[in-house]
Structure formats: C-alpha cells, structure tokens
Chain A
Amino acid sequence: GQQLNQSPQSMFIQEGEDVSMNCTSSSIFNTWLWYKQDPGEGPVLLIALYKAGELTSNGRLTAQFGITRKDSFLNISASIPSDVGIYFCAGRDTGNQFYFGTGTSLTVIP
C-alpha cells in the first residue's frame, strides 16, 4: 500500500522556536489530517483539511492542504514543552483509503 513521506523524522528544538513539518504523497488526496501522539496513547486529531490550498489553524498550530493535493504542511509557533510527541499526517485518496505517515518526533528543550 501507499506510504506517505513525512519529514523530518525527528526534530530537537528550543522552547519558543517555531516548527515546520510536511507530508507528501505520490497520488492526489482529498483529505489531509494531522495527528499528535503522546507516549502510551493513541493519536489525537489536531487539524483536518478538505480542500486544496486550505489553511486552517488550531491555536498555535497551522496546517495547509497543498495546491497540488499531494502534500500538506504543519507549523507550530512558539513551541512549549507540552508540544513534545509524535506528529502524524494522514491522507485519504480518491479511492477513499486512508494512509498514514511514519511520524515526526518532536523534542522541545526548555
């Protein structure tokens, strides 16, 4: 099955810095989702995107649905220690199948 390319694999940043990560696919997607997973828990939905070019915010998080429909971006502004975790992208293709990225591990150094 298709696998989404998510980058970077890991990030180590200072508290207060901004974070950017992205996800790309080889085919067109109709939906992009961004999740965060804390240790020992299931992923929790952060932002959902449904339209090419769409830009959606959730607090300090902003995500965009790429205009080619083959990529998506997540930005976190002014990071804080509780932002630590693994961030996953997920996308739904034109056949209604969902696929997940392999995750970006974020470490925030106080």
Chain B
Amino acid sequence: DAGITQSPRHKVTETGTPVTLRCHQTENHRYMYWYRQDPGHGLRLIHYSYGVKDTDKGEVSDGYSVSRSKTEDFLLTLESATSSQTSVYFCAITPGGDNYGYTFGSGTRLTVV
C-alpha cells in the first residue's frame, strides 16, 4: 500500500464558493498528480507537482490551483466552484518512478449545486 489518502471523500458545495481538496502521502514520493474523472472522458490531468513548491499545469487546469508546501501534501483548490467542476477527483503518485504508472487515492466526489 503506497499510503495515499484523500479528504474529504464526499463534498457538496454551492456555486461560487471556494473548495480545497487534500491529498496526503506517507512515502516521500516526489511526483504527485490531480486528475478528474468524468463519464465519457476518462481521467484527465489537472495539475501535477514535481517537488515542494514545484507545480505545473495539466490538460484541464482552468479554474483550479494547487499548492505543495510539504512533500506529503498536495492541495487542489477551486477558487470559485462551478457546476462544470462537479466530478470525481483523484490524487495519484508514481511510487515506482514515472514509467511504472500511477497509484491512485480513493477519490473525492465533489458536487457543485
């Protein structure tokens, strides 16, 4: 078990409110990722981090920001949530190195009403 946990597991929020999702890992991996999963789209990369304070955008980064002040925590923030951001969000790490694929957390189901 790579020791990756996400919180909260479920959240309902109102349009226009800020929301922060947390990903925590216990094994000091350098790379961490945030994906969203939507029907018909598979998993799409939002942002990723390659070290403390080192982050970069993914395919669907608009409306999202991230922060990584400690190796173990990677936060995803929706500054002003919209209904199009209703999704399941997954955090991932690459415990075997980038070529060996991801280990995913259990996900956060976010509903924006």
Contact = CB atoms under 8 A, between A and B. Distances in A.
Contacts of B40: 102
Interface residues of B, number: 19
A92 B105 contact: no
| Interface secondary structure of A, over-half rule | strand
A48 B106 contact: no
A45 B100 CA distance: 9
Interface stretch (B41-49, B67-75, B78-86): B41-49
| Interface secondary structure of B, over-half rule | mixed
Interface in B80-113: 90, 92, 98-107
A100 B106 contact: no
Contacts of A96: 98
B58 to A, nearest CB: 9
Interface residues of A, number: 26
Interface stretch (A35-43, A56-64, A66-74, A75-83): A35-43
15 contacts: A3-B41, A3-B42, A40-B106, A40-B107, A42-B92, A42-B106, A42-B107, A43-B90, A45-B102, A45-B103, A90-B101, A98-B102, A100-B44, A102-B41, A103-B42
State the 7 A-B residue pairs at the shortest beta-carbon distance, nearest first: A42-B104, A100-B42, A100-B43, A1-B59, A33-B101, A102-B42, A45-B101
